[in-house]
Structure 1
Amino acid sequence: MIVVTGATGGLGGATVEHLLTRVPADRIAVSVRDPAKARHLADRGVRVRQGSYEEPAALRESFAGAEQVLVVSGNDPAADMVGLHRNAVEAAVGAGARRIVYTSQQGAVPGNPYLPSEFHIATEAILAASGTAWTALRNGAYGPLDQVLGHWRPTGEIVQPEDGPVPYTDRDDIAEATAALLAGDRAIDGPVTLAAPDAVTFDDLAKIASDLTGRTVRRVVVDDEQWVADQVANGIPEPTARLLLSWHQAGRAGYFAQTGPLLAELLGREPRSAADRLAAQVAA
């Protein structure tokens, strides 16, 4: 049986949907904080169990019978994410899971200035010491492009700090590939990059946006501290702005530049590119 955590969230929920196209529903279980929010899955034959990373005993029970557990990483900067992920790994090991698949982050290596890298690195170390087979999917950035590019459509400008090449990846592609890995016969050990094949910069995206819209979209580079001040002036808390700044700093240092063939191999097709995603947004 495959047990998926975070199944009422974006990535976990999409992964379950793709699993349902590959394996019978009774081979899938979900461990969720609020089972009522997963009623739509229970109605389709998925086993819905209550469990959260904050409750180790209940979490272990929710993993009962699992051959594989997908541990979807948390992202609350105010929480002890390493401790919570440790609870999930230990619960999976205690339940007898033969493999743990963890949703890590691209560039989860020492020195990466993007702050969440630290808890991904620590979690991967916990997995390595667990004694159980494990896979860490170092997912490429899969947030909405407008979240990254800012208000480029009304302004005609991408106004962000200095950046670097990033393989912006479609979340549903990652979910489909994760489901393919969980449901298939292929075993992958350790950390692997799961990202779109092309890494692009804001300059590249400005050109793509210009070609798509038929109007000039300019790339405007803003000083780091000025950018943080602008975010705070727009109502974003300063700690959040600095967290986002650390992502840009990591990008410009090349920590997110790596690409690879694995995503396409698992999908059996070419993943959606940033250009594809921008084109869909413009056409919508």
Structure 2
Amino acid sequence: MEHVTSRDGTQIAYQRLGEGPPVVIVGGAMSDHTGGLPLAEALSPHLTAVVVDRRARGESGDRTPGIAGTVEREVEDLAALVEAVGGRATLVGASSGAVLCLAAAAHDLPVDRLVLFEPPFATEQFPPVAPPDMPEQLAALVTQGRDGDAVELFLTRAVGLPAEMVAGMRQSEEWPAMMPLAPSTVYDAALTRRYPRAEAFSSLLTPALVLHGEGTWPLLAASAAALAAALPNAELRAIAGGDHRLDVPTAAAAILDVAGVD
């Protein structure tokens, strides 16, 4: 892993594969850079694919925790990363990572194009599920050392998973591995609170490809459609996959297509 220093002194960890124009892959909630590795490997024969541990995840730190300025700090992280890998890049974001990529472009980062997979925007059909003070609730639990409760709260009240499903997850062997990601939930909750609906980006002119899986949850298909309609320079495509899982072969093919790679 390589590291770049963000504006507040936080070290942000990343890994790059391949050679060519840079593409930065930004993951969603409850994930680190490893979630983007299959897509990066698929892109690496043609592009420099960069996967990143967002702030408070994996090998990346967080020298300035707290609610105020959360979105700006993550945008500054991406600004430092884009500068480190060539000065301009295509941003590929999944779920809340797609919202962060939109925020980065809206803050005038040097972004050539956006590829956005199933950002979780609210729509008229599917209103917000998280309470307005979700970031504060999560931050309080993390401060108290109640990481498991923070993850459970995020999954039930922000993501919208059934309580019985999350209760079962707490008994699984995979649950302890999720605990180090608890502080990162504050960032995801703050990001989606700042940008609850796609219309927040209606003046963003950056070329964008908006993707959703053919079998994904209806609310995420509706969100993708709303974003494509709101952006002035966007294309909407349905690709293989479902349940909010990125189908790597069809996603890679779509990214190479918009990047002009044969």
Structure-1-length-normalised TM-score: 0.37
| TM-score, scaled relative to structure 2 | 0.39
